[in-house]
Structure 1
Amino acid sequence: MPLTTLPVLSLADAPAAFSAAIGASFRTFGFAMVCDHGIDPALIARAWDLTEAFFALPEDEKRSYFTPELAGARGYTPFGREIAKGARVSDLKEFWHVGRDLPEGHRLLDASMPHNIWPARPAGFRETFEALYAAFDAAGATILSRIAVDLGLAPDWFDPAIAEGNSVLRLLHYPPIPHAPEGAIRAGAHEDINLITLLLGAEEAGLELLTKEGEWIEVAPPPGALVVNIGDMLQRLTNHVLPSTTHRVRNPAGERAGFSRYSMPFFLHLCSDFPFVTLPQCISAENPDRYPVSITADEYLQERLREIGLKR
């Protein structure tokens, strides 16, 4: 009988035990739930308050931070702009992106990794989300080190690959939807582009993953826990040994349709000029290399941004 409930893992466990546990959860579900991740609860609470306050601003004020030529890389992206790959209708969401700050003259400073955009209000927005970005970055690096060990790599194998990675913190708002357009849901079925995603906010019902058996199951972490999932970049690097799992955010039923939903995913990315070369230990006679032609992480990202409508 297939498993239908994700285990809750503790990052405070011994590294070897956590490595084995997250590897098993990833191979079964492509997802894991992680507590004891070390991100300050008080910082998270401030971030929720500021996220709600920002999205409550007037529409024209929010849109003043929208820069179409950045393809959603920084600042505000309006409601209905993003569409799941292959979908007919746009997702029912708006969002804000915070990225890695690079100094002037840095080799990676371009339209893919531009300077951050910061709103004039609410007060404390920049300071809070710079701190939260750094906290997510650190937690993600620790989790990746455990994944590396499970793959038979050195614990620090990913460190240089993500040290200047194009990671993005997304503040997500799904507005109330008493009357959703036909066929539209809050986030259509999709896979993430990046290495791994660390998500806060999944306690509010709606997030579901598609199992290998073709069944949608709910992802419901305990309060404060992270949901961590594999992205397409890690799937590619591991030759599908670690699968990028399809997931969605379904529309709420009943009175919950009248409430907003907020979440904060951190999309942990490789450095833009990282070259994809399939890990040798993930290639075998039964699993030949699916990706013999190497491309960079940024080339892959730009291709996917066009597929989801953020880049024209």
Structure 2
Amino acid sequence: MTRPTIPVVSYPDLLSTTMARQRAIATLGEALESVGFFILEPHPISPEVVRRAYQVAAEVFALPEAAKTQYMLSQRRDEGGFSSLGSEQAKGHTVPDLKEFWHINRQSLNAPDSPWPQEVPSFRPVMTRLYQQLMACAEVLLVACADYLGQPQDWLVSMATGGNTVLRLAHYPAVGVTPAGSLRAAPHEDINLITLLCEATAPGLEILTQQGKWLPIQTTPGQIVVDTGDMLQSLTNGLFRSTTHRVVNPQSSNQARLSMPFFVHPRPEVDLTPVESLIDRTGGVPQFPPITAAAYLTQRLEEIRVGALM
């Protein structure tokens, strides 16, 4: 049987004014309908910025535990910061994920007293630059999504403007003995509108196909993986799929992994109730209840432990 593939969308085509743009938008939309994922190649994020981001992230995660824990993610969870190994477990799972992470969000970029690792001075400027580049790219993708869905071009961009979008630096350390049932990231769906994922430093990402099979996805330099989150799935009444995915453990116990997902969030007051025209497009029956982004996020925070995908 032929293994399903992830569609590829060209970022320059999305910026063009020719038929190439319409074809790229069609590929993007059909991918989010059928798979929930696509690959963006080429993309506008500077390779040097990605390289430096992984370099300084590795320096931070290599700090002694006592140094990292002074920057722990606060109970408010909207200021950014560090979460230790085992601090998060996926919805419906009883064992924690084998990862530690650092959150950088709009709040932490703008608040003067946000936690930043003083031991690695280059961390803040490098991550700020990466965040800004990813946000600019995400806005182009949101416009393309809106075009495909027959909505005003600024429909999704206006929702995301002022949202507490998160750049998560995830470190999956090498582990000698894996606790029973633990994965680097157990099967889950993203909470937000869309997620952009720069190439990780090692394999492990897998998505669950509609046939119930796990499909490995490994990005290479020059690629970004993009997927639909629950909030966009709700707005589109399920037309865009929020697909289950996971990060599996490596065959070699001494292989660490770093990844940098960028979770694009709407403002808290945004109404996620399915849009009438998209209800009509998906059979005429609402599949998701009326709810705000804030209420949905709170609901999901109650289902997972500390480190929510804000």
Q: How does the TM-score come out when normalised to structure 2?
A: 0.91
Q: 1:3 to 1:239 in 2, by over 3 A?
A: farther
Partner of 2:209: 211
Residue 275 (1) aligns with residue 271 (2): yes
Between 1:182-191 and 1:34-43, the stretch displaced more is 34-43
The answer as to whether partners of 1:197 and 1:228 remain within 8 angstroms in 2 is: yes
Q: Distance in 1 between matches of 2:116 and 2:188?
A: 29
Partner of 1:9: 9
Q: Distance in 1 between matches of 2:121 and 2:77?
A: 26
The answer as to whether partners of 2:199 and 2:220 remain within 8 angstroms in 1 is: no
Corresponding residue to 2:85 among 66, 79, 89:
79
Q: Distance in 2 between matches of 1:276 and 1:71?
A: 22
Task: Compute the RMSD of aligned alpha carbons.
Answer: 2.1
Q: Distance in 1 between matches of 2:234 and 2:150?
A: 17
Matches within 5 A, 1:107-256: 116-202=114-200, 204-253=202-251, 255=252
The answer as to whether partners of 1:203 and 1:223 remain within 8 angstroms in 2 is: no
1:68: how far off?
4.2
Partner of 2:306: 310
1:188: how far off?
0.2
Structure 2 counterpart SS, 1:24:
helix
Q: 1:36 to 1:164 in 2, by over 3 A?
A: same
1:220: how far off?
2.0
Q: 1:273 to 1:214 in 2, by over 3 A?
A: same
Partner of 2:16: none
Q: 1:299 to 1:202 in 2, by over 3 A?
A: same
The answer as to whether partners of 1:201 and 1:262 remain within 8 angstroms in 2 is: no
Q: Distance in 1 between matches of 2:136 and 2:5?
A: 27
Q: Distance in 2 between matches of 1:102 and 1:89?
A: 29
1:17: how far off?
1.8
Say how many residue pairs are matched.
301
Structure 2 counterpart SS, 1:271:
coil
Q: 1:2 to 1:287 in 2, by over 3 A?
A: farther
Q: How does the TM-score come out when normalised to structure 1?
A: 0.91
Gap runs ≥5 in structure 1? none
Structure 1 counterpart SS, 2:75:
helix
Partner of 1:28: 34
Corresponding residue to 2:296 among 285, 295, 300:
300
1:175: how far off?
0.2
1:73: how far off?
5.2
Structure 1 counterpart SS, 2:273:
coil
Q: Distance in 1 between matches of 2:228 and 2:76?
A: 25
Between 1:195-204 and 1:82-91, the stretch displaced more is 195-204
Partner of 2:17: none
The answer as to whether partners of 2:73 and 2:307 remain within 8 angstroms in 1 is: no
Q: Distance in 2 between matches of 1:86 and 1:101?
A: 29
Find runs of 4+ consecutive structure 1 residues off by over 3 angstroms. Answer: 101-104
Between 1:35-44 and 1:87-96, the stretch displaced more is 35-44
Structure 2 counterpart SS, 1:158:
helix
Partner of 1:265: 261
Corresponding residue to 1:88 among 82, 87, 94:
94
The one-letter code matched in structure 2 to 1:296 is: T
1:3: how far off?
5.2
Corresponding residue to 1:56 among 55, 62, 70:
62
- Aligned-pair identity (%): 40
Corresponding residue to 1:288 among 285, 298, 307:
285
Structure 1 counterpart SS, 2:143:
helix
Structure 2 counterpart SS, 1:283:
helix
Gap runs ≥5 in structure 2? 14-19
